[in-house]
Amino acid sequence: MAKDDPASRSSDEDLRDLAAPSMGAMVIRTWHEPDQMPGFRARLTYSETPNDEPGIVLTADPDEVLRVVRQWLSARSGPSRES
């Protein structure tokens, strides 16, 4: 195949298109504040794509951390596979 063969470029573009929707990041930082009740604190920073402005959630509730993580993962997994 020649270097400028359209089939080669098309294949590379298809791979990039498939990879793009699955790119995202979430960082969870937790710490303890002894002078506060409850002392648990968390900051979740997340994005769906590298070009997105990051979303930020601050919470003192561990259940809220789990809810946000589940919601973010569900959005990334695509349509439900349940019948």
CA distance 81 to 66: 22
Q: What is the pLDDT of residues 11-56, one digit of tens each?
A: 445 444 544 456 789 999 999 999 988 999 999 999 988 888 999 9
Both tokens of residue 62?
């561990």
For 62-74, the pLDDT digits (tens) are: 999 999 999 999 9
Q: Where are the beta strands (DSSP E) in 10-75?
A: 25-32, 40-47, 55-59
Global pTM? 0.64
Q: Is residue 4 part of a domain?
A: no
Does residue 27 lie in a domain region?
no
| Residue 46 belongs to domain spanning | 42-77
Would residue 52 count as lying in a domain?
yes
Assess if residue 54 is contained within a domain. Answer: yes
Is 59 within a domain? Answer: yes
- 57 in any annotated domain: yes
Q: Answer yes or no: is 47 within a domain.
A: yes
The domain total for the chain is 1
Q: Is residue 53 part of a domain?
A: yes
